[in-house]
Amino acid sequence: MARVELKNINKSFGTTQVVHDVNLAIEHGEFTVFVGPSGCGKSTLLRMIAGLEEVSSGKIEIGDADVTGERAADRGIAMVFQSYALYPHMTVADNMTFGLRVARRPKPEITEKLASAAKILRLEDLLARKPAQLSGGQRQRVAIGRAIVRDPKVFLFDEPLSNLDAELRVQMRVEIGQLHKVLGSTMIYVTHDQVEAMTMADRIVVLRGGRVEQVGKPLELYNDPVNAFVAGFIGSPRMNFLSGVVTDARQIKVAGTEFVAPVASGLVRGQTLQLGIRPEHLAASNGVKIEATVNVIEALGATAYLYTTTDSGEKIVAEWRGALPQIGNRVKLCFEPGAVRLFAEGGERIR
């Protein structure tokens, strides 16, 4: 267990820079999730922490020791890979103890660590099998077991659930969460799935184009995003963005209606901006109304989502409670002005 600190990390492949000056402190015992669209540099960042990729410049500290130039095996980390990366020619037990055997640890220690890891992950009955004889979920547990056996200060997960089917993914999500509670270790988890990030993380790091966009607790990011990218990335279905025009100091015109914007400072008249409003905030019983035509209805049972188009042609997804309209019907979508998040044309948040 240890804290992890990244100081001014840069990474270039040839002339393309993929990670730009990342500074990040991950506290001891924290479950941190790196999330972002593909190509945002999250895996590269993780691989640099692991020691599989060199940093172009900057410093990585794990537990107050500078590990920037250390070998991966000496960093006190363990990693779980997307494809599990189990050694196909070895049994489960050999897979899990391979690192200890390479390090020439004494036999009793190896046996003991294997037994305790197998117990935590309920792998006792599978130890003699080869990876090919295991199901996807079992393989993933072996991969996690291989990490536990190393007794690392920091666990690194590189999209570990993306090869599993939906049901198993939910199950493994819970298992990894429980494992974090049991072990209490620092864990860094990379995913492109914002649901995984929201459900698992103590803290989320949102990355885009190799830069950190925002760091915070899941609900902080959800309720108080710093820019339109974070607002759009976190939350499912994603936030609706409508373009609006400032008609008076605080008055905004959007999709045929006008309302008083929930901002502290004045806006410039004539300024165009983006209004972000989440689907569930459009199910208010009163407030500002937007009229729209229903195109598609997704009835999920407990709730329903309407895919609509406004008269000005903007697409809006809205949560809907109560009696479902027909496709082609016009509906009134209501929202409280306080639920709206405003973003400048460039995407920065206007508070």
Contacting residues toward other proteins, per CB under 8 A = 47, 50-52, 71-73, 77-79, 81-89, 98-99, 102-103, 131-132, 139, 146, 150
Query: Closest CB to other proteins among 85 and 284?
Result: 85
Beta bridge partners of 154: 77, 186
Could you tell me the smallest distance in angstroms from the CB atom of residue 47 to other proteins?
8
Q: Strand 16-26 to strand 4-13: parallel, antiparallel, or no bridges (unpaired)?
A: antiparallel
Could you tell me the smallest distance in angstroms from the CB atom of residue 70 to other proteins?
12
Residue 88 Cα distances to 97, 99, 146, 158, 207, angstroms: 14, 15, 14, 20, 34
- If one counts every other C-beta atom within 10 angstroms of the C-beta of residue 252, the result is 25
Query: Closest CB to other proteins among 75 and 208?
Result: 75
Query: Closest CB to other proteins among 140 and 308?
Result: 140
Q: Which of 52, 269, 249, 233 is nearest to 241 (CA)?
A: 233
Could you tell me the smallest distance in angstroms from the CB atom of residue 51 to other proteins?
8
Could you tell me the smallest distance in angstroms from the CB atom of residue 292 to other proteins?
47
Could you tell me the smallest distance in angstroms from the CB atom of residue 299 to other proteins?
40
Query: Closest CB to other proteins among 91 and 223?
Result: 91
Kindly report the three-state secondary structure assignment for every residue of the chain. Answer: CCCEEEEEEEEEECCEEEEEEEEEEECCCCEEEEECCCCCCHHHHHHHHHCCCCCCEEEEEECCEECCCCCHHHCCEEEECCCCCCCCCCCHHHHHHHHHHHCCCCHHHHHHHHHHHHHHCCCHHHCCCCHHHCCHHHHHHHHHHHHHHCCCCEEEEECCCCCCCHHHHHHHHHHHHHHHHHHCCEEEEEECCHHHHHHHCCEEEEEECCEEEEEECHHHHHHCCCEHHHHHHCCCCCCEEEEEEECCCCEEEECCEEEECCCCCCCCCCCEEEEEECHHHHECCCCEEEEEEEEEEEECCCCEEEEEEECCCCEEEEEECCCCCCCCCEEEEEECHHHCEEEECCCEEEC
Could you tell me the smallest distance in angstroms from the CB atom of residue 32 to other proteins?
19
Could you tell me the smallest distance in angstroms from the CB atom of residue 125 to other proteins?
20
Query: Closest CB to other proteins among 98 and 307?
Result: 98
Query: Closest CB to other proteins among 105 and 349?
Result: 105
Query: Closest CB to other proteins among 100 and 228?
Result: 100
Could you tell me the smallest distance in angstroms from the CB atom of residue 4 to other proteins?
16
Query: Closest CB to other proteins among 43 and 310?
Result: 43
Provide the terminal-to-terminal Cα distance of the chain, rounded to the nearest Å.
Answer: 38
Could you tell me the smallest distance in angstroms from the CB atom of residue 158 to other proteins?
9
Query: Closest CB to other proteins among 85 and 263?
Result: 85
Q: Both tokens of residue 20?
A: 């730009």
